[in-house]
Amino acid sequence: MPDPTTVSAAAAATQDSHDSVLKAAGVVGVATFSSRILGFIRDMVLARLFGATPAADAFFVAFRIPSLLRELFAEGSMSSAFIPVFTEYRTLRGKQEAWELASAVFTTLLTVVTFVTLAGILTAPWLVQALAPGFQADPEKLALTTLLARVMFPYLLFISLAALAMGVLNSVRAFAVPAFSPLFLNVFIIGCALYLSPSLPEPIIGVAIGVVAGGAAQFAMQLPSLKLRGLLFGLRFEPAHPGLRRIGLLMVPSLLGLSVTQINITVSTILGSFFAGGPTYLFYGMRLIQFPLGIFGVALATAILPTLSAQAARGALEELRTTLGFGLRMILFIILPAMIGLILLRTPIVHLFFEHGTFTSQDTAETALAVLCYSVGLWAFGGVRIIVSAFYSLQDTKTPALSAAIAVVANIVFSLVLMRPLGPAGLALATALAAMVNGGILVAVLNRRLGGVDWPSIGRSSARVLAACLPMAAACWWVAEAQVWSHPADWIAKSVMLFVGIGLSVTGYLGVHALLRSEELDVLWSMAQRKIRTKSRG
């Protein structure tokens, strides 16, 4: 019979790990929410100034090149390979050896990405032709895309270093500064679009300059926080460092594993270049999907990886299974209602925020259709981020890479089948279906690897979530069918209608969870109460 003291201690440890994950996710979520709101304003500015014109298509295709490489060298494979190894060094070997490892990684990353950036600038014409074969029929559009790609390539260097700084800070449970750093990217893009672009012969180049300046600011703002913790990088060229070699071995297969979504979006960009406005519709559609995914999915995945890595380093697989199950329940608690809300409110949202200036009603219809097709896979996008974090915490990057390779092939097949009847929206649907394929494979393998996860709890949680979504769906339907959306102006009335509807939806959703005594809501409410009590005592 288990010792009650041991059981109590284990339960307390589990609760502490859950609280730690949620607190970190809360910090990242607030920061990401701020960034997404500013990003939304950025997208509204760009839509108003450039609409779905050839210049907009050129910018979004050119930006896809450093964005994909950012996933490969920065926020994707490098971060996911670095954090588990760095956490192990800090846990088992101490701060000095961890700093030496971080400095060796910094020096190597600086060298490699500088070379890649210079090579990218030189080979931009061929990269653009490969990424946008549909632009071949328009030489001016092709030339502008090439120029924009060259201007924006240095962004890759800055954002890669920023991602390494974020990995170090997240590993020591410092989430706020790196989470707020993306605000600078949006600030610089908006500023350059409004104040620099009008003075240039080709205004869209000003936006590209803003991208590079924003990336540099993201890295620079994290340096004081690193210095404060005694972890500011030094130059240590040690290619034979054992920790660096382990990170490299983990990173190679994960180049595909974690960045599968970006690769699939890139496939969509290539095929979307054959449709006028296709790259722009897909960009804005994915931006709306990334709003809830970034605030909650990415935030939770960012917060949970250091905890899973520490549990894996200690060999505490039971704790890891519990934390993973908790993460999946929380992601479903947030992402499923967001998915239903986006599906039902897609046209009002696109119309209200983007249909201004050169962005037409036809652009709204095409973008809303892309949002619908992306939205059906939102639960898979969010779930995959949590599941992949579990694999990387176990320092297994091969399984996600193999699953991702299958998903990429599936995406290409789905895209070729669906693009003819559905146009750009078919490419969005193909990306969503590929995410479902990827998630299904990863769940099956991880379930066998860990000897199971708490699926009964996840199933009960999902049932509660779906029940709570019923009043929310009714409120969203009422908003979407309102007559105000057929009026040419009335922007204040439309804004009030949308935000009142969202407020009613959230109230109804949380109300049903309260009636059902939802465990997820109880956890969030208990944390809020403890925080309020702590502040009142202070």
Distances (CA, A) of 269 to 189, 278, 523: 22, 8, 41
SS3 content of the chain, % helix, strand, coil (to 5): 85, 0, 15
Nearest to 229 by CA among 21, 86, 25, 92: 86
Q: pLDDT digit string (tens) for 105-155?
A: 899 989 988 999 999 999 999 999 988 888 888 889 999 999 999 999 999
- Alpha-carbon distance 176 to 196, whole Å? 30
| Most confident option among 31-35, 68-72, 499-503 | 499-503
What is the DSSP secondary structure assignment for residue 484, as one 8-state letter? G
Buried-exposed string 210-231: b where 16+ CB fall within 10 A, e elsewhere? bbbbbbbbbbebbeebbeeeeb
- Alpha-carbon distance 220 to 109, whole Å? 16
CA 246 to chain centre: 25
- Give residue 433's pLDDT: 94
Distances (CA, A) of 317 to 18, 84, 305, 478: 15, 15, 14, 47
Q: How confident is the model over 445-455, as a mean pLDDT?
A: 82
pLDDT category of residue 268 using cuts at 50, 70 and 90: confident
Token duo for residue 402:
């193999």
- Give residue 190's pLDDT: 94
Q: pLDDT digit string (tens) for 480-526?
A: 988 888 877 788 888 889 888 888 898 998 898 888 888 777 766 76
Q: pLDDT digit string (tens) for 86-104?
A: 888 888 888 888 888 889 9
Q: Which residue has the tokens 């609280």?
A: 19
* Three-state secondary structure string covering 116-165: HHHHHHHCHHHHHHHHCHHHHHCHHHHHHHHHHHHHHCHHHHHHHHHHHH
Q: Which residue has the tokens 């005694």?
A: 230
Q: Is the pLDDT of residue 381 over 80?
A: yes
**pTM exceeds 0.85:** no
- Give residue 531's pLDDT: 54
Mean pLDDT, the chain, rounded, equals: 83
> 371 near 414, Cβ under 8 Å?
no
Q: Is the pLDDT of residue 6 over 50?
A: no
- Alpha-carbon distance 500 to 536, whole Å? 32
> 428 near 374, Cβ under 8 Å?
yes
- Alpha-carbon distance 77 to 222, whole Å? 20
Report the phi/psi class of residue 454: left, alpha or beta, with left for phi > 0 and alpha for psi in -120 to 50.
beta
* Three-state secondary structure string covering 187-234: HHHHHHHHHHHHHCCCCHHHHHHHHHHHHHHHHHCCHHHHHHCCCCCC
Q: Which residue has the tokens 């500015």?
A: 45
- Give residue 317's pLDDT: 79
Q: How confident is the model over 291-303, as a mean pLDDT?
A: 70
- Alpha-carbon distance 52 to 362, whole Å? 10
Q: What are phi and psi of 464, to 5 degrees?
A: -65, -40
Q: pLDDT digit string (tens) for 355-379?
A: 888 888 899 999 999 999 999 999 9
- Give residue 359's pLDDT: 85
One DSSP character per residue, 509-522 reads HHHHHHHTT-HHHH
- Alpha-carbon distance 327 to 287, whole Å? 24
- Give residue 7's pLDDT: 44
- Give residue 490's pLDDT: 81
- Alpha-carbon distance 146 to 290, whole Å? 26
Q: How far apart are the first and last CA of the chain?
A: 42
Q: Is the pLDDT of residue 45 over 80?
A: yes
> 324 near 390, Cβ under 8 Å?
yes
- The answer to which of 49-58, 184-193, 250-259, 317-326 has the lowest mean pLDDT is 250-259
Distances (CA, A) of 390 to 163, 294, 447: 20, 18, 11
What is the DSSP secondary structure assignment for residue 490, as one 8-state letter? -
Q: Is the pLDDT of residue 240 over 50?
A: yes
Q: Is the pLDDT of residue 28 over 80?
A: no
